[in-house]
Amino acid sequence: MLHRLHNAKALLIAAAACALVACGVDQVAGIEGTGAPVASGVTSVGPISGFGSIIQGGVEYQTTGAQIQIDDQSATEAQLQVGQVVTIQGTVSSDGTTGVATSVNFSAELRGPVTQVDATAGTLTVLGQVVRITDDTLFDDSFTTASIDGIQVGAVIEVSGSSNSAGELVASRIELAAAGASLQVKGKVQSLDATTQTFVINGLKVNYSSVAPTGTLTSTSTVLVRGTGVTNGVLTATLVRVLGAPAFTANNSGRFEGLITSFTSNAAFSIGAQQITTDSTTVFDLGGASLGVDVPVRVRGTFNASGVLAANRVEVKANKLSIVRGLVDAVSSTSKTLTVMGIAITTSANTSFEDKSSQKVRFFSLADVRTGDYVEVRGVPGSGSSLVATLVQRNRPDTGVFLQGLAANLANPNLTILGVQVMTNGQTKYTGPGGEQQFFTDAVGQAVQVQGTFSGGVLLADKVQIKH
CATH code for position 357: 2.40.50.320
Could you give the CA distance from residue 226 to residue 241 in angstroms, rounded to a whole number? Answer: 9
Q: What is the pLDDT of residues 400-420, one digit of tens each?
A: 999 999 999 999 999 999 999
Report the length, in residues, of the chain. Answer: 468
Residues 18 and 63 in one domain: yes
Write down which residue in 106, 129, 152 finishes a domain. Answer: 106
- Give the CA count within 13 Å in the CB-facing half-sphere of 213: 23
Residues 327 and 387 in one domain: yes
Return the pLDDT at 89. Answer: 97
- Give the three-class secondary structure for 10: helix
Q: What is the pLDDT of residues 302-347, one digit of tens each?
A: 999 999 999 999 999 988 899 999 999 999 999 999 999 999 999 9
CATH code for position 204: 2.40.50
How many structural domains compose the chain? 6
Q: What is the pLDDT of residues 86-140, one digit of tens each?
A: 999 999 999 999 999 999 999 999 999 999 999 999 999 999 999 999 999 999 9
Do the domain assignments include residue 3? no
Which helix (H) or strand (E) element contains residue 17? helix 8-22
Question: Three-class SS string for 322-390?
Answer: EEEEEEEEEEECCCCEEEECCEEEECCCCCEEEECCCCCCCCCCHHHCCCCCEEEEEEEECCCCEEEEE
- pTM value? 0.88
152 with 135: CB under 8 angstroms? no
Return the pLDDT at 77. Answer: 96
Could you give the CA distance from residue 216 to residue 221 in angstroms, rounded to a whole number? Answer: 8
Residues 264 and 310 in one domain: yes
Do the domain assignments include residue 2? no
Write down which residue in 176, 196, 215 finishes a domain. Answer: 176
Do the domain assignments include residue 1? no
Residues 268 and 237 in one domain: no
Return the pLDDT at 320. Answer: 87
Do the domain assignments include residue 221? yes
Do the domain assignments include residue 365? yes
Residues 49 and 116 in one domain: no
Residues 406 and 366 in one domain: no
Is the torsion defined by CA of 396, 397, 400, 401 positive or negative?
A: positive
Average pLDDT, the chain: 91
Residues 55 and 41 in one domain: yes
Do the domain assignments include residue 18? yes
Question: Three-class SS string for 31-82?
Answer: CCCCCCCCEEEEEEEEEEEEECCEEECCEEEECCCCEEEECCEECCHHHCCC
Single out the residue of 69, 62, 97, 95 nearest to residue 84, CA to CA.
Answer: 69
Quote the domain boundaries for residue 305: 253-316
Residues 132 and 171 in one domain: yes
Ordered mean pLDDT values, 10 residues apiece, the chain (468 residues): 40 40 37 57 97 94 97 96 98 94 98 96 97 96 90 97 93 96 96 98 96 96 95 96 94 97 97 96 95 97 97 94 97 97 96 96 96 97 90 96 96 95 96 85 94 97 92
Write down which residue in 345, 371, 395 finishes a domain. Answer: 395
Residues 333 and 387 in one domain: yes
Residues 23 and 62 in one domain: yes
Return the pLDDT at 36. Answer: 54
Do the domain assignments include residue 275? yes
List C-alpha distances in Å: 136 to 173, 350, 466.
8, 13, 18
Residues 279 and 345 in one domain: no
The strand pairing partners of 92, in sequence order, are: 40, 99
Return the pLDDT at 117. Answer: 97
Residues 367 and 444 in one domain: no
- Give the three-class secondary structure for 413: coil
End-to-end CA distance of the chain: 34
